[in-house]
Structure 1
Amino acid sequence: MQTSHRVLKNTLILYGKTGITMFISLYTTRVVLRELGADSFGVFALIGGIIGMFGFLNGSLAAASQRFMSFAHGEGKPEQQQKIFNISFGLHFIAALIMVISMLSIGPLLFEHVLKIDLDKLLTAQRIYQFVVASLFFTVLSVPYDAVLNARENMAFFAIIGFIESLLRLGVAMAIAFVANEKLLLYGFLMAMIPLFLAFIRAMFCHMKYVECHFALRRSYDLALIKSMTQFASWSFISTAVAMVSKSWEGIILNTYFGTTINAAQGIANQLSGQLLTISNSLLRALNPILVKTAGERNNEKMLRTAMSGAKLSFTLLAFCIIPISINLSYICKLWLSSVPEFAIIFTQLLLFRSLIAQLSMPISTCIAASGKIKGVSITGSVIGLCPLAVCAILYKHGYQPPAIYWAYICTTIVRACITAPYFAKKHCGLHVKKFLINVVVRCIIGTGITLLASLWLKTLLPEGINQVMITSAVSSVLLIICVWYIILDQTEKEHILNAIQSAYTKLNRIIVIKQTESSS
């Protein structure tokens, strides 16, 4: 199957899952916020952020596992894949123990000296912290299985797992509605059980279906491979650690200056932006293993060409949702939530804008990771990633409003997308930087800029309400489609899309003819 067809097939599978789980997740948030209240919801969001801060080690190992597994798959070496799985599982088991011990040790210090949580919720928050720490152990152990599924491009299983997870989260939200007391404690316990259940399903499926998922730790011992994976994970560790610490301390800094209510607004923004990001991430999840496999085939030209097309598509797919939602967010939040926390709307809009910019460089960053040379980009990205925290700590002391931290992150995201990622992609993969900036960045900004300005102008002519949302959404979608075709895509990409559509139409026609023949006979 051609690369474009594989990407299209896997993306459509993940989109089908996204379309279902998005609405389930958004409704789940509404129910949870209503049942827990803004303060309790903010407490859970804060603890979740802290746990994420300590997940940086897992993130770096996960990057190494997925890169090496997909690379070996591209090289066509099944024995190497089994070695990588076993080494990855061993490393993740050690990482899981380190994280659990570290988090349990530092927990008392956080609750006594760092976090601002009301006394009546403090004991509950400490118990939830312990629940989530325990669940993280099993989440870490499931990463090698995700690497296998990713290398095998089994997006159908990812879709099923995502659907099950959404249903379980909805079930938890509905369950706490029937409890009079200790709702926050019950919610934290049940949410912690979900990763354990999903990790068990992943492990059972992979061991039954894939030969590389066979435990043979002694036979798989390969010092050179362990060293190579550990080096890659070490440099990935730096950038992942900064990203996770930055994300978690974002919540802690906001909590320090503005209390737990602002964490509720942050939690709402993260929830909505996270759901929308699954749209573009569906394409990236389908695209990334192909990019790494292509690197394993030693075909950098094809890899970079695919990455640039993927950057355009992921950017525009996210823009399709972000533009109408952002300009109508105030009305949408009133319908979605019974009570909208202060700053939730502006937080969400800025976070969506930042996420949109980040799409421009994500496939290029995958190419850099596929090369295995991530030392420079990790160090540079880490320095840039720490800047917003330091800047905002100063700004808040001088009376700046909470959204300042999101503006700071937007600035660093622009630097990464337009300067650091293209530079290191040129150095390690041979990217033509000028071509990338003009063909990807400039085209995307012009196309979406025209759509956004026209949609904002149209909004000013219409009264707030459901009609305004429907009309602006329809017009922005049509305008963006026109801009994508005439501004964002180049001639080669248009031909690939037309060929993919023609191929899909031909296959559908053939299926219809076969069905008609069978029914007539």
Structure 2
Amino acid sequence: MQNENKRIARNTLLLYIRMIAMVIISLYTSRIVLKVLGEEDFGIYNVVGGIISFLGFLTSSLAGAASRFITYALGKEDNNNLKKTFNNIILIHLLFAGLILIVGETIGLWFIKTQLNIPPEREYAAMWVYQMSVFTAMGGLICAPFNSVIIAHEKMSTFAYLSLSYAILKLVSVFILLNINYDKLIFYSIYIFIIQVFDFALYIIYCKYNFEETKRIILTKIDKNLFKEIFFFAGWTMSGSLAYFGFTQGLNILLNIFFNPIINAARGIAVQVQNIVNTFNNNFLMAINPQITKKYAAGDYSRVKELIITSSRFSLYLMLLICIPLFLEVNLVLSWWLGKYPQHTDSFLRLILITSILSCLANPIITTVHATGRMKKFQLIESSILLTIVPIAYFCLKLNTSMPEIVFIIHICIEIIAQCARLKIVLPMINMTIKEYTSAVMKKIIIVILLAPILPIIIYYNTEQNFLSFISICITSTISILFCIYTLGLDQHEKNTIKEVINKKIYHRQKNRS
């Protein structure tokens, strides 16, 4: 267990180093892209590209299935089954890539041309954005199994380096955008497609050279029973992914229908910040999720429980460290980053940050149900709950079209209901009671959430908003959150572990000095 914890810590550190570099690049490129494209074109890029990303629920669900079955096979230590699993996964992904092409060039194309609110003079550029999005989605689907193999083998250093290559190439697009006379929206969509294809190729080449199961793919030799098992698992995860993409892109489309592309630009900026914030949580979970699946495959349910409790609490604590100062100083951060930004961006971002905090509790539970393979009941109930977000938001907007924030408030409320349902379904699968989970996770995090922001809020409302106040809020937030976590948010074993680590560090330093 100690070696596993060290591996998780090492992989998490590597992913955070990758993330810091990517965040810096992303913040800079987003600022310049918004400035160069303008609010209207930036909004068009987000809403039109978002239509085909709605079909990304296929990529998300199939990637989840691929990751689960590959990691499960690794946990069973069965190389022959691992090779068969990968072959079946590749065939399924190729079939669905064809489906994306068919749906994208029929229903999706009709929707773009007839339903969206796009200025007539930008329709041609919007079509370029859409077509590039279709081909990117297909490439992402074909590449997803190779990505899953890297993560399942816990080769996080490689994953970090390959991800950085895409971020660096995206940074290059900024300098080109500033110096071309061609339609910048069209150029940007084509360029992003090209560098994503290059990124996909790097993943595939690396896997071909390093993992035995990917070296020889024979699509004619398919295990029908395994194909069926993976296909039906993917089908059930697909309903969950469909619900997620349904309400995220559904809300984006509703904002376009009831308002205009500038509101989509505000949401697009808020979502970009959310994606950056979520990488902190996702990096931690990416390091720990393979362990949950492998331990379940090995029948070590007590370790699975421990991983769920640890990942739920610590991912949320980590998110609080980022979200509390950002929530308070959102206007200052946006003005530093973008200068001028669309109206409603600040309120959208604050509400979206709350959903990010809630997702910290959902992710370990979803990983666990994937590990069990018992998806039907879970996905039917979770998807049904989440899909109510769009119709409820539609009726609320019909009643009051002056408050676009209502769609995000509805999302928060429905997400809380969905999490209650997840716990009720999944915890019995690993012999864990609601009482155990509440005691180990909920009681501790609620206390931390309620008490940690008090001091930063007092400082925020009693100081002028400037660089010094931002620094003071960041410092006091960190101190307040860490104090609350250590005194109220950890169990005694975790406190003792931290003390041991600190004492060892002090001992080694004193020994080295002497």
Amino acid at match of 1:195: Q
SS of the residue 1:360 aligns to: helix
- Residue matched to 1:77: 78
Looking at structure 1, the residues matched to 501 and 218 of structure 2 have their Cα atoms a distance apart, in angstroms, of 43
| Structure-2 change in CA distance of 1:297 and 1:506 (3 Å) | farther
> How much does 1:207 deviate?
0.5
> How much does 1:497 deviate?
4.0
Q: Which aligned pairs between 1:166-181 and structure 2 lie closer than 5 A?
A: 166-181=167-182
Amino acid at match of 2:311: G
Question: Is 1:51–2:52 an aligned residue pair?
Answer: yes
- Residue matched to 1:141: 142
Q: Which aligned pairs between 1:345-360 and structure 2 lie closer than 5 A?
A: 345-360=346-361
Q: Is the 8 A contact 2:386 2:418 kept in 1?
A: no
Q: Is the 8 A contact 2:52 2:108 kept in 1?
A: no
Q: Is the 8 A contact 2:88 2:219 kept in 1?
A: no
- Residue matched to 1:385: 386
Q: Is the 8 A contact 1:53 1:244 kept in 2?
A: yes
SS of the residue 2:361 aligns to: coil
Q: Is the 8 A contact 2:86 2:145 kept in 1?
A: yes
* Gapped regions of structure 2 (runs ≥ 5): none
Looking at structure 2, the residues matched to 440 and 464 of structure 1 have their Cα atoms a distance apart, in angstroms, of 35
Question: With structure 2 as the length reference, what TM-score do the two structures score?
Answer: 0.96
| Structure-2 change in CA distance of 1:377 and 1:283 (3 Å) | same
- Residue matched to 2:318: 317
Amino acid at match of 1:494: K
SS of the residue 2:463 aligns to: coil
Looking at structure 2, the residues matched to 505 and 10 of structure 1 have their Cα atoms a distance apart, in angstroms, of 24
Q: Is the 8 A contact 2:70 2:82 kept in 1?
A: yes
Amino acid at match of 1:155: M
> How much does 1:205 deviate?
0.4
SS of the residue 2:205 aligns to: helix
Q: Which aligned pairs between 1:102-251 and structure 2 lie closer than 5 A?
A: 102-217=103-218, 220-251=221-252
Give the alignment partner of residue 405 of structure 1, picking from 401, 404, 407.
407
> How much does 1:181 deviate?
3.5
Looking at structure 2, the residues matched to 173 and 255 of structure 1 have their Cα atoms a distance apart, in angstroms, of 27
- Residue matched to 1:422: 423
- What per-residue deviation string (whole Å, max 9, x for no partner) do you get for residues 136-181 of structure 1? 2211111111111111001111111221121111111221111134
| Structure-2 change in CA distance of 1:79 and 1:254 (3 Å) | same
Amino acid at match of 1:9: R
Percent identity reads: 25
| Structure-2 change in CA distance of 1:308 and 1:258 (3 Å) | same
Looking at structure 2, the residues matched to 120 and 172 of structure 1 have their Cα atoms a distance apart, in angstroms, of 24
SS of the residue 1:117 aligns to: coil
Question: With structure 1 as the length reference, what TM-score do the two structures score?
Answer: 0.95
| Structure-2 change in CA distance of 1:178 and 1:481 (3 Å) | same
* Gapped regions of structure 1 (runs ≥ 5): 517-521
- Residue matched to 2:29: 28
- Residue matched to 2:63: 62
Looking at structure 2, the residues matched to 453 and 402 of structure 1 have their Cα atoms a distance apart, in angstroms, of 29
| Structure-2 change in CA distance of 1:188 and 1:486 (3 Å) | same
| Structure-2 change in CA distance of 1:131 and 1:216 (3 Å) | closer
Question: Is 1:437–2:408 an aligned residue pair?
Answer: no
Q: Is the 8 A contact 1:308 1:364 kept in 2?
A: no
Q: Which aligned pairs between 1:209-358 and structure 2 lie closer than 5 A?
A: 209-217=210-218, 220-358=221-359
Looking at structure 1, the residues matched to 247 and 14 of structure 2 have their Cα atoms a distance apart, in angstroms, of 32
Looking at structure 2, the residues matched to 29 and 178 of structure 1 have their Cα atoms a distance apart, in angstroms, of 17
> How much does 1:46 deviate?
0.7
| Structure-2 change in CA distance of 1:32 and 1:437 (3 Å) | same
Looking at structure 1, the residues matched to 501 and 166 of structure 2 have their Cα atoms a distance apart, in angstroms, of 32
Looking at structure 2, the residues matched to 37 and 434 of structure 1 have their Cα atoms a distance apart, in angstroms, of 52
| Structure-2 change in CA distance of 1:223 and 1:508 (3 Å) | farther
Question: Is 1:466–2:467 an aligned residue pair?
Answer: yes
| Structure-2 change in CA distance of 1:267 and 1:509 (3 Å) | farther
Amino acid at match of 2:417: V
- What per-residue deviation string (whole Å, max 9, x for no partner) do you get for residues 411-461 of structure 1? 1111223x1121112232222211212321221121122122321111111
Looking at structure 2, the residues matched to 421 and 509 of structure 1 have their Cα atoms a distance apart, in angstroms, of 49
Looking at structure 2, the residues matched to 115 and 362 of structure 1 have their Cα atoms a distance apart, in angstroms, of 33
Question: Is 1:491–2:483 an aligned residue pair?
Answer: no
Amino acid at match of 2:458: W
Q: Is the 8 A contact 1:151 1:289 kept in 2?
A: yes
| Structure-2 change in CA distance of 1:399 and 1:489 (3 Å) | same
Count of aligned pairs between the two proteins: 512
> How much does 1:79 deviate?
1.4
- Residue matched to 1:455: 456
> How much does 1:299 deviate?
0.8
Looking at structure 2, the residues matched to 133 and 192 of structure 1 have their Cα atoms a distance apart, in angstroms, of 10
- Residue matched to 1:100: 101
Looking at structure 2, the residues matched to 499 and 14 of structure 1 have their Cα atoms a distance apart, in angstroms, of 25
Looking at structure 1, the residues matched to 364 and 413 of structure 2 have their Cα atoms a distance apart, in angstroms, of 20
| Structure-2 change in CA distance of 1:193 and 1:220 (3 Å) | same
Alpha-carbon RMSD: 1.9
Looking at structure 1, the residues matched to 30 and 412 of structure 2 have their Cα atoms a distance apart, in angstroms, of 26
> How much does 1:496 deviate?
3.9
Looking at structure 1, the residues matched to 317 and 509 of structure 2 have their Cα atoms a distance apart, in angstroms, of 27
| Structure-2 change in CA distance of 1:503 and 1:139 (3 Å) | farther
| Structure-2 change in CA distance of 1:226 and 1:507 (3 Å) | farther
